[in-house]
Amino acid sequence: MKRRAFITLLGGAAVTWPLAARAQQPAMPVIGLLGGVSAGLWALLAPAGAGAQLNASPLRLGYVWLGESGSVSDALAGLLKGLQDLDYVDGKNLKLDKYYANGSEQQLNALLAEIVQKGKTDVLVSVGTIVTRAVKKATTTIPVVSFTGDPISAGVVTSIAHPGGNITGFTVSAGPEIGEKWVELLHEAFPKISRVAVLWDSANPYSIALVARVEEAAARLNLTLFSHGLREPSDFAAAFDAIRSEKAEALVTDTDPLTAAHTTEIAGFAINSKLPGVFGRDMIEAGGLMSYGASIFDVHRNGASYVDKIAKGANPGDLPIQQPIKFELVVNLKTAKALGLDVPASVLARADEVIE
């Protein structure tokens, strides 16, 4: 594997906060984390020997998201790394509670009701637009650090600079216009392709806005686009059959909890159907060809600073929504070989990571 690390700054700077000595802090509030980590990953992140003694009021992280039990994500790994850098140690001044919705919004709402009813959580960290919207309905009093595609279009906040209320956080993309970049990247790499399919979550407001930009780019580049909105995991089989019948030549897939939970299935379909495409970062590991977007790990690592700030008494409504500052282009040459394709040198030269 060859890795190329290039950091792209798209305005602004990373959010950091001065670190105070834990011994001088008042008793810590409880924090609920909406988003999954395995015991092995947490053990890796926590310093050796940690957890010998518990503070009187450890920081409680309740992890809830739409993913499946036991799943590990770049989002959680980044957040935990950020918390570790701020001297939060599991078993000492941190306690992690994990809740998994297993792809069910009904189960997600039940978990949120349970958290609110317990009344032990002082801060929630919500990962994903769907999760954040559910949190907004569940509580207007618990401070929330959110990670969404576009909190404005999702109705989560009304202002980026002054979110107000109980929700602040970070966006995980440059906005819906990233959809245009995906289509342009695909067209640059494979200009002979004219028929493109897109898979997306029709229940996600951010995905709706993003696919509108995908459609605009496809029209501008004279590409025929086949759009497949999904609502449930059972919708994938029918969408795959339709894409085959449409004789699509490439595939673009939105990144959201629904598609992220089926990365292996989607990537496998693309390879078996000989479809090059642009996917989320997790799908590259499963065999997808190309990925372009914000570094999920980096965004969530920066997000730990807001968790720490609120834990020390900051009002989330006074903290502006932050945008990502690091974007990554990843190309999987193993998949390109399996598809019998040559990725242009111009694309490879810009890649932050090339998997060989």
For the chain, which residues make up each domain, given as ranges? Answer: 10-172+295-325, 178-293+329-355
178-293+329-355 topology per CATH: Rossmann fold (3.40.50)
pLDDT at res. 4:
41
Helix-then-strand count for the chain, H and E? 13, 14
10-172+295-325 topology per CATH: Rossmann fold (3.40.50)
- Rounded average pLDDT per 10-residue block, the chain, 356 residues: 36 33 42 49 43 55 67 78 90 77 86 91 84 92 89 90 95 86 96 96 88 96 97 93 97 85 90 93 87 91 93 94 92 95 95 92
CA distance 348 to 26: 51
Q: How many CA atoms lie within 13 A of 312 on its CB side?
A: 15
pLDDT in tens, 195-222: 999 999 998 888 898 999 999 999 999 9
pLDDT at res. 69:
62
Q: How many CA atoms lie within 13 A of 198 on its CB side?
A: 27
| Helix, strand or coil, per DSSP, at residue 250 | strand
CA distance 335 to 19: 44
Name the average pLDDT for the chain: 82
